[in-house]
């Protein structure tokens, strides 16, 4: 069930009414929200609700076993078994085909027998997100940072439909306290929720869809038919497309949750205004970046110990972060590329610190150069992220520097949308807050008229039908 559809609009009206009617009654409310979320998830394929239920059972049974273990030394094997069980589901459904195909190719390459039989395993939508949330719940319990919740609370936490299929990755200590308390409908910021939802719809339905059809899909689909300028602009366009697509989903998810009385963590903060690759990851998909830091990088040793171990930990974290996005060598290379960039940036900052200089040169001219360089480094990585294979990515990069010719796909409208979307990253956050505040002060009639006008603009400028969000695959 996609957010920008009539199906979801009807679904949400029913859930919204049931949610607030049952709000004074905690247990019926929780059962209602679990059923509604499972209906939402099962809309694509009802069989996958059993996978979500299995992840919930494994996480809760494991968390309770870990918490009740009297000896801390017994907690480690219990934690390891639980995390292994959760990752086992993820590996089977998401990586079985990738691993078995590469293993089969390796055997075939050295002449060891006929190809192995390969099974077709369907990829459940959003499995990476609720698996990571389940792992964070169990790990936080093992660290003593969180007490185990009731079965109903954990089921609501993992299945809550606004974040279920594409994040943000909300931790137990962020969402479980909100599940337990009663929500006050008089304190809901409806104006901000509407602002976020309609802003997210505009990003997804208008900006992302337009760039995908106008230049990104044609160029990345058949790079051999396009000239250098078209490829360059398509790379820029994809950077905008994936940002508009994913941040648009996040805005809608945060807005929908807000209408139900829940607050999600921020997930994007003008990533294309970053001044370094490390800064980019502080701004892009921030809930995932923090998860990788706290549950992978730090347990590996983080920046403790010898310098080479720090760089090893960085590379492992970023490569696995890339593989998390998809079972393909393009994602592995994308993660390794970002790991190398972050490592080089860290090394450069250490050299500056050794000379008594600040981490980054703060002069206006230098800051501008840093932003331009960082943006282009990110765009280079997006080539591997978007391409369907490593050979396609290399073909795109090859034609980028060797194929002069006409560029009919590079239209003034495409350039204007790209430039406007990137320029918007540099607008003050205070401006957005001010616009939200002004909107909230309008009367209900004016607000309704403004939202109706916004919906009309979105439906008029948007395409027929809406493609799934890019991050649904992950």
Tokens 């969180």 belong to which residue? 146
CB atoms within 10 A of CB 310: 20
CA nearest 283: which of 378, 348, 208, 213? Answer: 378
Q: Write the CB contacts of 357 (distance below 8 Å, at least 6 apart in sequence).
A: none
Q: Write the CB contacts of 275 (distance below 8 Å, at least 6 apart in sequence).
A: 360, 367, 370, 371, 374
**Do 129 and 109 meet the contact criterion of CB atoms below 8 Å apart?**
no
C-alpha angle 150-264-82 in degrees, rounded to nearest 5: 40
Cis peptide before 168 (omega within 30 of 0): yes
Dist CA 454 CA 384 (whole Å): 35
Query: 19, 325, 351, 376: which is the annotated catalytic residue?
Result: 325
Instruction: Say if residue 423 is exposed, middle or buried (CB neighbours under 10 Å; 0-12, 13-18, 19+).
Output: exposed
Dist CA 325 CA 132 (whole Å): 12
Instruction: Say if residue 312 is exposed, middle or buried (CB neighbours under 10 Å; 0-12, 13-18, 19+).
Output: middle
> The tokens of 153 are what?
């609370």
CA nearest 20: which of 183, 252, 155? Answer: 183
325 an active-site residue? yes
Instruction: Say if residue 179 is exposed, middle or buried (CB neighbours under 10 Å; 0-12, 13-18, 19+).
Output: buried
Helices (H) and strands (E) in the chain, counts: 23, 0
Q: Looking at residue 4, what DSSP letter applies? A: T
Q: Write the CB contacts of 300 (distance below 8 Å, at least 6 apart in sequence).
A: 312, 313, 316, 317
Dist CA 141 CA 157 (whole Å): 15
Q: Looking at residue 272, what DSSP letter applies? A: G
Q: Which residues are catalytic?
A: 325
């Amino acid at each position: 069930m996609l957010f920008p559809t009539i199906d979801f609009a009807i679904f949400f009206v029913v859930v919204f009414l049931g949610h607030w009617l049952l709000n004074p009654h905690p247990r019926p409310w929780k059962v209602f929200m679990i059923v509604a979320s499972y209906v939402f998830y099962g809309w694509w394929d009802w069989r996958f609700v059993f996978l979500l239920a299995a992840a919930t059972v494994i996480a809760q049974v494991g968390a309770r076993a870990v918490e009740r273990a009297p000896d801390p030394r017994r907690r480690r094997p219990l934690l390891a078994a639980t995390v292994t069980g959760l990752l086992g589901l993820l590996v089977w459904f998401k990586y079985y085909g990738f691993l078995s195909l590469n293993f089969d190719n390796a055997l075939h390459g050295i002449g060891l027998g006929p190809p192995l039989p390969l099974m077709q395993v369907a990829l459940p939508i959003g499995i990476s997100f609720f698996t990571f949330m389940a792992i964070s719940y169990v790990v936080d319990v093992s660290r003593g940072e969180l007490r185990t919740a009731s079965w109903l609370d954990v089921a609501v936490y993992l299945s809550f439909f606004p974040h279920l299929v594409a994040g943000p990755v909300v931790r137990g200590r962020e969402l479980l306290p909100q599940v337990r308390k009663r929500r006050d409908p008089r304190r809901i910021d409806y104006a901000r929720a509407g602002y976020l939802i309609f802003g997210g719809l505009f990003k997804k339905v208008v900006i992302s869809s337009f760039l995908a059809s106008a230049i990104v899909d044609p160029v990345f689909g058949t790079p051999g038919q396009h000239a250098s300028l078209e490829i360059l602009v398509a790379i820029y366009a994809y950077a905008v497309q994936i940002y508009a697509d994913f941040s648009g989903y996040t805005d809608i998810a945060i807005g929908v949750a807000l209408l139900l009385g829940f607050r999600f963590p921020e997930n994007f903060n003008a990533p294309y205004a970053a001044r370094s690759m490390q800064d980019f990851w502080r701004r892009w998909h921030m809930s995932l970046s923090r998860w990788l830091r706290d549950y992978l990088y730090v347990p590996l040793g983080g920046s403790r110990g010898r310098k080479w171990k720090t760089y090893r930990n960085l590379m492992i974290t970023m490569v696995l972060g890339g593989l998390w996005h998809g079972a393909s060598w393009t994602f592995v290379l994308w993660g390794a590329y970002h790991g190398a960039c972050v490592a080089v940036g860290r090394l450069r900052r250490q050299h500056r610190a050794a000379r008594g200089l600040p981490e980054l040169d703060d002069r206006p001219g230098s800051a501008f150069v840093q932003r331009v360089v960082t943006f282009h480094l990110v765009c280079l990585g997006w080539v591997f992220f978007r391409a369907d294979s490593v050979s396609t990515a290399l073909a795109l990069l090859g034609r980028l520097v060797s194929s002069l010719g006409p560029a009919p796909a590079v239209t003034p409208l495409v350039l204007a949308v790209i430039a406007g979307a990137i320029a918007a990253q540099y607008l003050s956050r205070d401006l957005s807050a001010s616009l939200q505040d002004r909107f909230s002060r309008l009367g209900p009639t004016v607000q309704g008229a403004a939202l109706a006008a916004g919906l009309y603009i979105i439906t008029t400028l948007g395409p027929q039908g809406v493609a799934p969000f890019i991050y649904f695959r992950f």
